[in-house]
Structure 1
Amino acid sequence: MIRSIAVGTAVVAGTVLAAHTALAAYVARRLVAPRAPKVFAPVFIEGDTVSVPVVDDSREPGVYGLRFDDGLHLPVGDVVRVDRDRVIRRILVRPQGLADGEATAAWTSQNIGAPEDVGPTRHVAVALRRGGTAEAWEIGDRERAAGRWTIHVHGLRSSRNGALRSAPATTDAGWMSLVVSYAGDEECAPADALPSSLGTREWRDVDDAIAYAVASGAREIVLVAWSMGGTIAMLALEQSPHREAIVGLVLVAPALDWPRVVDNAVVSAHLPRTVAAASMRVLGSRLGARALGLVEAVDAHALTWVGDSRPGPGVPTLIVHSRVDPVVPFSGSAAFVERHPDAELVAFDATGHCNEANQEPERFHDTIAGWLGDRRWVGDRAGAGGFDGLSHLGSHGGRCVVEDP
């Protein structure tokens, strides 16, 4: 009797363990999976409005875009009304030749159609140490910038078009803008479209972009990084041979604490919290990495800058982040700023992840442009991380926080 109970318990425990391991592998795969193909659907254009299918994103307030199957971009604004399974939104700028009627397009948060809409643009190819090149946009006037460059780094399952949203602010502030691509994003050749390494591999391509900027005359570089781009920026600061040229960071909804991000994803999926730790063990093992198609194992536990395990940025940092971000918890940015006195946090209330620029575009622009423009930058990174200009911030126990006015 006792033996049969023990055997039965072992079978149940084994089944539970197998199910738990399968869940952990599933979460790990979802974390690093390449971006799914864009979903194109019928849209209907009538005058100054366009009707799109009802999905969560298409009902969000703010400024977004539609990318047609022929590559044309249509910026759309506020919701006019919702009719059953359709959302009718205002067209902001109607391209010449776009006729009324049905078309096929994909919804996107990319509200800027092309880099030329931001400023004078050069399409460049950044040489990579791993071989080949990465496409980039160089926007602005080098002479006017006088050696001041910003490098815009997109996040996981995104592209240069997503990071383009921060370029108007930095370009208007008088800095060059280099908007880059990197390993694993949607612009890579199919043979290189591997799962993400959460920044541990991708940062090297961004470092090559930093080298390109330095060779092109950049003396002071600010990394403008979105979501996982925040991880990339921090790794570049730690390991780049050009890190002395980096004088500041602008981070948008940054992933600065991957254990927190993974835990949030698991809880949001209504899975046991233990699955989060197990999924990170999968990522960190050679066997798990091989099964996921990763080039190398990823120690997600170590990818945190909110505790004492890694050094801080050592340069002035601006964080723009929504309090209600469902993907990268705002609490991670708050914890980062609590620890690092050179950091300033500007809180938004945008719904969705990385929608700060979409839902409050003017405030987003002015926050970044003002932060760059209000400071007296110096190239030797003396004093408070490389410039004079922290004195206007409100300090709370070593924390600089800017709240909504």
Structure 2
Amino acid sequence: MTRPASTGRGGVGPLAIVSIAVGGTVLVSAVALASGVVAIARKIVTPARRRRDDVRVEAHDAASGTVTLTSTPDTRLPGRYSFWFDRGRGHARLGEVVRDDGRHVVRRVEGVEGGDLDRARHGRIGGWLFPTPHDAGLVAHEVSVPTEVGAAPAWLVPAAHGTHGPWTIAVHGRGVTRAETIRGVPVFHRHGVTSLLVSYRNDGEAPRSSDGRYALGDTEWRDVESALRYALDHGATSVVLTGWSMGGALVLQAATRSALRGAVRGLVLESPVVDWRTTLAYQGAAMRVPPVVQGLVLRLLGSPLLCRLAGSAEPIDFDRLDLVARSGELEVPVLVLHSDDDGFVPSTASHALAEARPDLVTLEAFDVARHTKLWNLDPERFEAAISGWLERQRLAGPPSTDHRA
């Protein structure tokens, strides 16, 4: 029998050394994996207080009223857009594309509401266009909606005949504010519908929740319910809930979970999150996050104990947030507007929802409008889709003769 190699007094053999090395590698890998899972989970539920300026400003020609930007899928889009610069302190309204050589895009500048575009070096494209309802030619009042976390600011845009009648409650998406929803107000206003543009917990305008984390609609829907109560107390006879992006998840939850859902007569969803698993898997694949890691992230966020590692006070019920699987719970007509090239929230779940409930769901699918920029690309088509749907569902009030909207 061959004797094992001597290790010396108190030493360890080569096999032991290999075992320890391998074990150490496994341990390090496990720690790295766990750290990565927690980091991704935290990013999903932590509100971003500052958005990245990912577009370079090459030149601003005030004489010709144009700005030259690096060419990206968003800067190349036809239509009208916001351009935020100077870390969000400056804002310009951009119009048509004048020239695109593949590397740079030259666009018209319709106006500058704040900041010095001449000094801007970087910025970001947004779909808002209007920072306030006044900028869109709307008469609006600042109001407060009482919620369980405190008073949440909102804009109230009364119908021409007053606030007694049909209302819409507009709910913005992740990482933005109620200003996102202003684009959708004029078509409702023309149809005699009062609009309430709301904020909700952790969006930077409304009060924070105790943990300061997003629940992706699983708790925020209660702020939409508070807005429903406000509307009913101030003259609403019926309500259409309008949700943009993550706001779509909020209104879907309110429409299926709220004790006041009987007042809801319909939903309008723009680039909505209908199923978070589908959305997060899409975003994870875009960032090359392995499927096994994606699965662990969802398990962490859904665990009553482990969710605390992400800073969340409560677990997120991803089954409850899957409105494709729970489409049978929908009881009112739904209009979905979504672009198949969204790039952030895939339209697959919207198509699946329309297929699951063809009796209630109408899908208006765009081709090249990207995420929450459908109005910006084609306002006539956007408003015609909503206008026709309101008329078919008999959800409009007396038509407005106020042409400011």
TM-score exceeds 0.5: yes
Q: How many residues align?
A: 376
Tell me the CA shift for residue 90 of structure 1. Answer: 0.8
TM-score, with structure 2 as normaliser: 0.82
For 1:314, which of 328, 331, 336 is the aligned residue? 331
Structure 2 matches for 1:5-404, cutoff 5 A?
9-38=22-51, 44-51=60-67, 53-54=69-70, 56=72, 57-67=74-84, 73-82=91-100, 87-93=105-111, 101-102=118-119, 106-107=123-124, 108-116=126-134, 117-131=136-150, 133-141=151-159, 143=161, 146-188=164-206, 194-308=212-326, 311-340=328-357, 341-377=359-395
Tell me the CA shift for residue 8 of structure 1. Answer: 5.3
Q: Gaps (5+ residues) in structure 2?
A: 1-13, 398-405
Distance 1:48 1:189 in 2: 44
**3-state SS of the aligned residue for 2:79?**
coil
Distance 1:55 1:196 in 2: 32
Cα pair 1:198 1:228 within 8 Å, conserved: yes
Q: Which residue of 2 aligns with 1:382?
A: none
Cα pair 1:119 1:171 within 8 Å, conserved: no
Return 296-305 or 270-279, whichever deviates more: 296-305
Tell me the CA shift for residue 184 of structure 1. Answer: 0.7
Tell me the CA shift for residue 350 of structure 1. Answer: 2.7
Q: What one-letter code is carried by the residue in structure 2 that aligns with 1:331?
A: T
The two structures, once aligned, show a CA RMSD in angstroms of: 3.2
Q: What one-letter code is carried by the residue in structure 2 that aligns with 1:25?
A: V
Distance 1:30 1:351 in 2: 26
| Compared CA separation, residues 143 and 303, structure 1 to 2 (3 A) | same
Cα pair 1:305 1:336 within 8 Å, conserved: yes
Cα pair 1:47 1:100 within 8 Å, conserved: no
Distance 2:18 2:315 in 1: 40
Tell me the CA shift for residue 25 of structure 1. Answer: 1.9
**3-state SS of the aligned residue for 1:234?**
helix
Distance 2:22 2:52 in 1: 46
**3-state SS of the aligned residue for 1:282?**
helix
Cα pair 1:34 1:193 within 8 Å, conserved: no
CA deviations 1:90-132 (Å, max 9, x no partner) are 123577x99995468853321123212242211111112333x
Tell me the CA shift for residue 303 of structure 1. Answer: 1.5
Matched residues, percent identical? 31
Cα pair 1:280 1:301 within 8 Å, conserved: no
CA deviations 1:354-379 (Å, max 9, x no partner) are 12122122211211122113332499
| Compared CA separation, residues 304 and 223, structure 1 to 2 (3 A) | same
Distance 1:100 1:159 in 2: 23
Distance 1:26 1:294 in 2: 13
| Compared CA separation, residues 313 and 84, structure 1 to 2 (3 A) | closer
| Compared CA separation, residues 278 and 353, structure 1 to 2 (3 A) | same
TM-score, with structure 1 as normaliser: 0.82
Tell me the CA shift for residue 301 of structure 1. Answer: 4.2
Q: What one-letter code is carried by the residue in structure 2 that aligns with 1:263?
A: A
CA deviations 1:316-345 (Å, max 9, x no partner) are 000000111122111101111111121011
Q: What one-letter code is carried by the residue in structure 1 that aligns with 2:147?
A: L
Distance 1:106 1:251 in 2: 28
Distance 1:106 1:178 in 2: 30
Q: What one-letter code is carried by the residue in structure 2 that aligns with 1:159?
A: T
Distance 2:317 2:165 in 1: 36
Return 315-324 or 77-86, whichever deviates more: 77-86
